[in-house]
A and B are shown apart, each in its own frame.
Chain A
């Protein structure tokens, strides 16, 4: 197939700076050379490609929009988004590893942590030498994390944590878990280090989606951590939710990459696959699908670019992020399904990428606030009436 080039129907590139474009092409080149050749196999075998982690650290993919002082690249939020787009063009699991590490582990340590915690963890997490995870979801509390049961109790100069988390990306391989638990009724963040007695993180198996990414349970049984491992500035459910805003921002961009990969594949296929003596691209029904895809991709690009500019100027709010996450993931999933359809039987094989993206996007639709929960968030924002309960 032709080398990947991102579609740019509305010359959105004209709105990007030279370094934003340079960052995009640097990540694209790496994805072409190091991710594409191995990703299908990793996905089939349900193995996280560990060898990519150090490389992603060297490239600066972890916490890329955090300050240089902590070993991060300090790029603009638009450049960060373009990086996510390129990573997810490879695979949602690879993008997820960058989202979790940057937005859900480094961001809370940076935002709610002490200078000592930042110095201790951020450079190692940025380089990929250390891995982190984010434990919010529980078996009985997914869309409603405010109901969480995990608790922390102060005991002398330590905290003792009890509870269980589920669906935690990278849990099993993490050196540090950002665990959210109730302390005196209030949600607080705690850093739980690998090897702490009572703490284990078994891997969850048999997924049909995000197979090149590790998903784990976190089990906390009388886990005693030193007092200094609380994130002192965290307090209330808004703390983890503000991390989710960061991660959702990256997801909204990321899925554009998955959608572009599917569109690129479907367009190429439609132009070369002959049925009834003609390329299938010459049939109106196929054209309609391709037109739907490129139109939605163009809208996704514009939505994200403006969102990114708002984030860079400090004007972005979390409801706007909900809109981009909700719209872009749903459209990317629709595009992946259409691409799979255009590819016919070939579309279900590992020779092509669309079905892998399609399966991955089912997770992306659910995690970080389901599609419907984002509907209710925006509904609440515009009507003033919460419809969650």
Chain B
């Protein structure tokens, strides 16, 4: 099987993100970057499939040379090779990224194209669907379980209050939900081998952006908490405030 996994570098989920000087991006100083956690499930699924059926896993990622460090993390998990779509900065408009990825993916003849269900930095959650549409491929998102059988596959996906099982033909686009599998640890051997794997650099033609980030604002600071000191006697008041003030019940 020939599998592509599109991955994105995101700040470590434990980072306390600060708004950068321009007010439209984050302050990158001191940030530790990782593979978007959902993408790790995608890589793991791709690796398991090629371990079972043979074939290769190619990682694709769009960004400046500095993201190669993160791409190597994916190669260290066991992906065979990678393609970096060279841009100075990851575009704000998901469509621009999707078009560039789709163009590159067209050259690869992949049986499956994986994504994480969303990137934990901008949380657009559009990439798999956009690329699937651009390539005119069946696209299944938020997948919890995947079985591939020759030229077709079934996937279980999360829907409100339950699970949906979908059958679809390959080639296809799939986006991974948490718990699709248990991503492997990077081994020392894997890390050493990753040094020898190639990251091909391509120069994508960038489409016009129709969307720009205008402003980034941190969430409002939490107000001071209220303390009730009279135990059960306060219950009625607590319920009233939860309903009328906090509006959570």
Contact = CB atoms under 8 A, between A and B. Distances in A.
Interface stretch (A68-76, A209-217, A262-270, A328-336): A68-76
Main secondary structure on A side of the interface with B: helix
B186 interface: yes
A22 B189 contact: no
Contacts of A75: 188, 191-192
B72 A22 contact: yes
Interface string A1-29: 00100000000000000110011001001
A61 interface: yes
Residue of B73, B76, B188 ringed by the most chain A CB atoms within 10 A: B188
Contacts of B73: 22
B192 A59 contact: no
Interface string B174-211: 00000000000111110110110000000000000000
A75 B190 CA distance: 11
Contact of A58 (B69, B187, B194): B187
A59 B14 contact: no
Contacts of B188: 23, 26, 59-61, 64, 73, 75, 79, 83
Contact of B185 (A29, A72, A79): A29
Interface in A53-93: 55, 58-61, 64, 68, 72-75, 79, 83
Interface in A169-208: none
Contacts of B189: 60, 68, 72-74
A303 B35 CA distance: 32
B72 A18 contact: yes
A30 interface: yes
A19 B191 contact: yes
A79 B195 CA distance: 14
Given A18-B72, A60-B187, A74 B14 contact: no
B192 A26 contact: no
Interface residues of A, number: 21
A30 B182 CA distance: 13
A73 B185 contact: no
Nearest to A30: B185
B195 A19 contact: yes
A59 B185 contact: yes
Nearest to B184: A58
A102 to B, nearest CB: 11
Contacts of A60: 187-189
A101 to B, nearest CB: 14
A334 to B, nearest CB: 30
A59 B195 contact: no
Contacts of A29: 185
Contacts of A79: 188
A211 to B, nearest CB: 26
B187 to A, nearest CB: 5
Interface string A122-160: 000000000000000000000000000000000000000
Interface string A314-327: 00000000000000
A59 B72 contact: no
Interface in B50-98: 69, 72-73, 76
A3 B16 CA distance: 13
B187 A26 contact: yes
A46 B195 CA distance: 40
A3 B32 CA distance: 14
A8 to B, nearest CB: 11
Given A26-B186, A59-B187, A18 B192 contact: no
19 contacts: A18-B72, A19-B191, A19-B192, A22-B73, A22-B186, A23-B191, A26-B76, A26-B186, A59-B185, A59-B187, A60-B187, A60-B189, A68-B192, A73-B187, A73-B188, A73-B189, A74-B192, A75-B188, A75-B191
Interface of A: 3, 18-19, 22-23, 26, 29-30, 55, 58-61, 64, 68, 72-75, 79, 83
Closest 3 pairs between A and B when the two form their complex, measured CB to CB:
A60-B188, A73-B188, A26-B186
